[in-house]
With several copies, the nearest count.
Chain A
């Protein structure tokens, strides 16, 4: 039951917990219940596995144990160990196997326990999965979903806290999705699994236990890739962001409104590749200011990309220099005080917006 792109889907967008934004009244009333981000992902996997026999899961500790973060919990019980495959610690091999299975029509969903391990399997991801269709002149397609959690905030240090969205976005051939709410996570993951392209589906460790509203399993919905969602309406500055930073941006927007009288529009990109610049420029047309925020490294990051595109595609909209905020160029320390210092979170967002608005 595929909800056709755009309109109908947009109708379905409903706010979850922790989201303070309003979508100008185009919510559709559906029977909602509260669920966690983990639960939403788990449901998306279950529903797609029920729907399509070719969908299978592969990764470390995901089967009998249900995943280090319990995202795949109970799925082995329901689907058996031939559809939920516990692997050895062999990221390169199982990533390559996912490609092999996908080019003959299977739809593997690979879990990387930490998205940092992208670097361990980087050849298979960027030299193989992302390129296979192109190198074969379109003869094959590679419907692999690579999913797992990224990000800081829990003091995991340099090798377990990186955000890899900008890294994935740098290479053509792979879609990049990074939802911020249970609702979006479920709708986008279902779409990602059905998509014929490889998709990196980036979760965030700070979001796993957050709750939000979503329709019950009976009411299926899909969210198209490549559609941003305005999570808060405003007039002075457009903040584009995604994943956990959305919540930081919404909090920053609240503070800016309350204490500084600055009205921010917060655009949740949701999909980092392709970027829904149309929605962003629409917003900037109103606000005249753009701040692109993300948790991956600022240097050569998605924020810089958005700034560059703004000056390529819509420079006339900008009333102030477009800006970006990302992780500081350090390897991400363990110590909570140091980690807090380098994350591009609420305080930095507030400070940057104040600079941009000259207040």
Chain B
């Protein structure tokens, strides 16, 4: 169980480190519950701890709202999918939320983000409206893309969300292009791109690593390492254990962090953004996380034992942040109040989406080309 070694390296968890399920050794990937994190920044090549400043409680509460909104929206979407209201491939990010939320709050208005087919959490973290998001996933006319893009293509240019993607790793060079635009225009915008552990094995990732490092693009590569690609655990396909070593070969700054703790994610992304804005180039962040739901709606999850999931539930983003809030003095009733508010908000969003009309059939033929072809003149 190779990846399990990480557990040691990454420090002890608040909860006892979760050991790989021995009966399911083949199916399990040696899960870890990182608490402290290791940064690994070239050229020093030394492993030092990332400083994680405590964030203001207000901000943590706002982030909690987001985590919860994402979670509840995705649970609603799963239910809608079971009812047959949603077809195609719908991937939820249940368990991944902190990666998106921590990052979004560490960045500025004007920065850019691209992500994968698993992009609901980025969408909401970056300010997209849940009602229009749900409508889009359902293929309704009020969807942000009029039902054309759906779950795999979350997009909201006014929020800097420049698109999800159905092709593994394809969104990564897009973010490099956004960073390049910022650099060529002399702006101080940063781009961040999210992808999974499996994306490391798409060649285009490596082409982009090289160009981003060479050109010192203001870019953050953020890997949500849930240690599975669909139904295949990463140890079955990766030649090495620590995938941050791939980008490190490009002379890039790398960090392996706890992706389930918004505060840690916020600290890491803040640091990377600062590097980027000061012209020091890209950073690769490997957020260790876990996907609590199936790869996509309808996944029977025969490839991992239920105990593996159960164990991870003890250290998932909402649990982590809720207990952090309690430690920081927010009381149970206040939290319960938030829970209810968010719950109502998502209920309304679902209702909005369900009432949204189907798009007009003629809409199918629009947006293939820009109608007024010229930029100016």
A and B are interacting partners: yes
A residues apposed to B, CB below 8 Å: 1-2, 52, 56, 60-61, 64-65, 68, 82-83, 86-90, 92-108, 116-117, 120, 123-124, 127-128, 132-141, 143, 154-160, 172-173, 175, 194-197, 225, 328-331, 333-339, 341-342
Q: Is the CB of A100 within 8 A of B364?
A: no
Residue B54 at the chain A interface, CB threshold 8 Å: no
Shortest CB-to-CB span from A95 to chain B, Å, is 7
Partner of A82, one of B165, B176, B184: B184
Residue of A nearest to B204 (CB): A92
Residue B47 at the chain A interface, CB threshold 8 Å: no
Residue B342 at the chain A interface, CB threshold 8 Å: no
Identify 11 new A-B residue pairs, CB closer than 8 A, beyond the known A106-B185, A195-B374. Answer: A65-B303, A88-B201, A88-B210, A88-B237, A94-B211, A100-B181, A103-B163, A160-B166, A175-B369, A197-B373, A335-B359
Residue B89 at the chain A interface, CB threshold 8 Å: yes
Q: Is the CB of B145 within 8 A of A135?
A: yes
The distance in angstroms between the C-alpha atoms of A328 and B155, with both chains bound, is: 24
Partner of A136, one of B139, B155, B198: B155
Q: Is the CB of A103 within 8 A of B162?
A: yes
Partner of A137, one of B27, B148, B180, B208: B148
Would you list 26 pairs from A and B whose C-beta atoms are within 8 A, ordered by A residue? A2-B374, A60-B232, A61-B231, A83-B184, A90-B211, A92-B173, A92-B203, A97-B174, A101-B178, A103-B174, A123-B167, A134-B368, A137-B147, A138-B145, A139-B145, A139-B155, A139-B157, A157-B148, A157-B153, A160-B152, A196-B375, A197-B369, A336-B87, A337-B139, A338-B139, A339-B364
The distance in angstroms between the C-alpha atoms of A89 and B230, with both chains bound, is: 10
Q: Is the CB of A90 within 8 A of B26?
A: no
* Chain B residues with CB under 8 A of A87: 211, 237
The distance in angstroms between the C-alpha atoms of A286 and B152, with both chains bound, is: 48
Residue of A nearest to B234 (CB): A88
Shortest CB-to-CB span from A148 to chain B, Å, is 14
* Interface positions of B from 156 to 199, Cβ below 8 Å from A: 156-157, 162-163, 165-170, 172-181, 184-185, 191, 198-199
Q: Please judge, given known A-B contacts A88-B211, A195-B374, whether A328 and B150 are in contact too, CB under 8 Å.
A: no
The distance in angstroms between the C-alpha atoms of A115 and B342, with both chains bound, is: 40
Partner of A90, one of B140, B147, B153, B201: B201
Q: Is the CB of A92 within 8 A of B148?
A: no
The distance in angstroms between the C-alpha atoms of A2 and B175, with both chains bound, is: 32
* Chain A residues with CB under 8 A of B114: 100
Q: Is the CB of B359 within 8 A of A96?
A: no
Q: Please judge, given known A-B contacts A99-B173, A157-B88, whether A64 and B303 are in contact too, CB under 8 Å.
A: yes
Shortest CB-to-CB span from A13 to chain B, Å, is 20
Q: Please judge, given known A-B contacts A60-B229, A106-B181, A329-B368, whether A93 and B170 are in contact too, CB under 8 Å.
A: no
The distance in angstroms between the C-alpha atoms of A86 and B177, with both chains bound, is: 15
The bracket for how many chain B residues form the interface is 35 or more
* Chain B residues with CB under 8 A of A341: 361, 364
The distance in angstroms between the C-alpha atoms of A315 and B350, with both chains bound, is: 52
Residue of A nearest to B370 (CB): A196
Looking at A52, A117, A128, A225, the one whose CB has the most chain B CB atoms below 10 A away is A128
Q: Please judge, given known A-B contacts A100-B181, A341-B361, whether A93 and B203 are in contact too, CB under 8 Å.
A: yes
Partner of B365, one of A101, A116, A330: A330
* Chain A residues with CB under 8 A of B172: 96
Q: Is the CB of B148 within 8 A of A334?
A: yes
Shortest CB-to-CB span from B28 to chain A, Å, is 12
Q: Is the CB of A97 within 8 A of B180?
A: yes
The distance in angstroms between the C-alpha atoms of A341 and B364, with both chains bound, is: 7
Q: Please judge, given known A-B contacts A60-B230, A135-B145, whether A94 and B173 are in contact too, CB under 8 Å.
A: yes
Partner of B26, one of A64, A141, A154, A331: A64
Count of chain A to chain B residue pairs whose CB atoms are closer than 8 Å in the complex: 291
Q: Please judge, given known A-B contacts A90-B203, A160-B166, whether A2 and B377 are in contact too, CB under 8 Å.
A: yes
The distance in angstroms between the C-alpha atoms of A135 and B178, with both chains bound, is: 18
B residues apposed to A, CB below 8 Å: 26-27, 86-89, 112, 114, 139-140, 143-153, 155-157, 162-163, 165-170, 172-181, 184-185, 191, 198-199, 201-204, 207-208, 210-211, 214, 229-232, 236-238, 302-303, 358-359, 361, 363-370, 372-377
Q: Is the CB of B87 within 8 A of A155?
A: yes
The distance in angstroms between the C-alpha atoms of A136 and B162, with both chains bound, is: 9
Q: Please judge, given known A-B contacts A90-B207, A127-B167, A155-B139, whether A335 and B176 are in contact too, CB under 8 Å.
A: no
Q: Please judge, given known A-B contacts A136-B153, A172-B368, A336-B139, whether A123 and B207 are in contact too, CB under 8 Å.
A: no
Q: Is the CB of A338 within 8 A of B359?
A: yes
Residue of B nearest to A173 (CB): B368
* Chain B residues with CB under 8 A of A2: 374, 376-377
* Chain A residues with CB under 8 A of B184: 56, 82-83, 101, 106
* Chain B residues with CB under 8 A of A139: 144-145, 155-157
* Chain A residues with CB under 8 A of B153: 135-136, 157-158, 334
Q: Please judge, given known A-B contacts A101-B180, A139-B157, whether A133 and B370 are in contact too, CB under 8 Å.
A: yes
Q: Is the CB of A90 within 8 A of B202?
A: yes
Residue of A nearest to B365 (CB): A330
Q: Please judge, given known A-B contacts A100-B114, A173-B368, A333-B148, whether A89 and B202 are in contact too, CB under 8 Å.
A: yes
Shortest CB-to-CB span from A54 to chain B, Å, is 8
Going nearest first, the 7 A-B pairs with the smallest beta carbon separation are: A100-B177, A96-B173, A137-B145, A2-B377, A335-B147, A335-B139, A334-B150
Q: Please judge, given known A-B contacts A96-B174, A100-B162, A133-B369, whether A120 and B180 are in contact too, CB under 8 Å.
A: no
Q: Is the CB of B174 within 8 A of A128?
A: yes
Looking at A105, A106, A338, the one whose CB has the most chain B CB atoms below 10 A away is A338
Residue of B nearest to A337 (CB): B358
Looking at A87, A132, A339, the one whose CB has the most chain B CB atoms below 10 A away is A87
The distance in angstroms between the C-alpha atoms of A94 and B364, with both chains bound, is: 30
Q: Is the CB of A154 within 8 A of B87?
A: yes
Shortest CB-to-CB span from A61 to chain B, Å, is 5
Q: Is the CB of B139 within 8 A of A330?
A: no
Q: Please judge, given known A-B contacts A61-B230, A61-B231, A93-B207, whether A140 and B167 are in contact too, CB under 8 Å.
A: no
* Chain A residues with CB under 8 A of B185: 106
Q: Please judge, given known A-B contacts A64-B26, A88-B237, whether A100 and B368 are in contact too, CB under 8 Å.
A: no
Q: Is the CB of A101 within 8 A of B181?
A: yes
The distance in angstroms between the C-alpha atoms of A76 and B50, with both chains bound, is: 42
